[in-house]
Structure 1
Amino acid sequence: MRVVLVGGADYPEGMTDIFDVIADGTRRDILQLLLRRSTEGDGGTSVTEIVSELGVSQPTVSKHLRVLREAELVTVREDGQRRFYSIAAGPLEAVDDWLVPFLVDAYGEQAPDVDLPMLPLPDGAAHAAEVVGRAAASAKHAVTSALRRFGS
């Protein structure tokens, strides 16, 4: 579902809320920590580990985790009294999809490579994904530019 805001801006539903959520530095730190930990295994990270790693109080971490849960940016797994949190990339993919055209328009073929700390793809698959991604971005940019020139 798409939402059209005043002024004609077209955003995926909930995306503006995600910007509000990730505007907070502590929440970004928590997301970074969960992303790093996700490459080490997918059992999740406990509140105690987050508190220890970030040096932030437990009530503060719990408050931010609640906000991240409500925005569906993290998932929680309960094991007795303990809760383990993992990153949920889905909502961030909507933001990524929205940002890509800006990068293509700004950089064209010289778009910077983004180094994400995720599980590596096999060499052949990584190269194929990069080639396909750049070709798709280039084709979209060419079509968009052509449509602008012809006034469509």
Structure 2
Amino acid sequence: MADIFDVIADGTRRDILHLLLERSSATTGGTSVSHIVQELGVSQPTVSKHLKVLREAQLVSVREEGQHRYYSLSAEPLDEVDDWLVPFLVDDEADAAAAASGSTLPESAAQAADAVGRAAASVSHVVQTALRKLPGR
């Protein structure tokens, strides 16, 4: 699997992830490749290439329906980015020591953790809703 930082370093892949995040609350069935192409104004082969990289990094999941593919965000791999980023969000050495020891987080880190937690909860809800709608469940 590719390094998560290499995967999200590409601007087009970040745009795709952002689009899927925005659409995760609007749709439970995923976002079609054609919709991604239309929204980003990028060619279909380019979008497909980037979706393959995101799929291999487990940042997106795909649902096939006939000839169509619908993609949804899977934010769990971004936990590694979050773990790496939190130390940079602390304001001073005392906050850094508190964060490293597992005690209460400094305000800036707590806000970041809250945002990440909300995003993860939203994605979890969307996935659970989609799974409930699958035939045979």
Smaller-chain TM-score bracket: 0.5 to 0.7
Q: How does 1:97-108 map to 2 (within 5 A)?
A: 97-104=83-90, 106=92, 108=95
- One-letter amino acid of the structure 2 residue matched with residue 25 of structure 1: G
The aligned counterpart of 1:26 is 12
- One-letter amino acid of the structure 2 residue matched with residue 60 of structure 1: T
Which protein has the bigger helix share?
2
| 1:46 maps onto 2:32 in alignment | yes
- Aligned equivalent of 2:82, options 96, 111, 118: 96
Runs of 4+ in structure 1 over 6 Å off? none
Q: Which has the larger radius of gyration?
A: 1
Q: Which has the higher contact order (CA 8 A, sep 6+)?
A: 2
The aligned counterpart of 1:127 is none
> What root-mean-square deviation, in Å, do the aligned CA atoms of Structure 1 and Structure 2 show?
2.2
Aligned-partner Cα distance in 1 for 2:71–2:92: 36
**Residues 106, 84 of structure 1: alpha-carbon distance in 2 compared, 3 angstrom cutoff:** farther
Secondary structure of the residue aligned to 2:84 is: helix
Deviation at 1:50, TM superposition (A): 0.2
Alpha-carbon displacement from aligned partner over 1:74-107 (angstroms, at most 9, x marks no partner): 0000011100000110100121122212312559
Deviation at 1:63, TM superposition (A): 0.4
Residue ranges of structure 1 left out of the alignment (5+ in a row): 1-13, 120-152
Aligned-partner Cα distance in 2 for 1:100–1:75: 26
Secondary structure of the residue aligned to 1:75 is: strand
Give the length in aligned residue pairs.
105
Deviation at 1:60, TM superposition (A): 0.4
Aligned-partner Cα distance in 1 for 2:23–2:73: 9
**Residues 106, 22 of structure 1: alpha-carbon distance in 2 compared, 3 angstrom cutoff:** farther
Aligned-partner Cα distance in 2 for 1:106–1:56: 42
Aligned-partner Cα distance in 1 for 2:91–2:28: 36
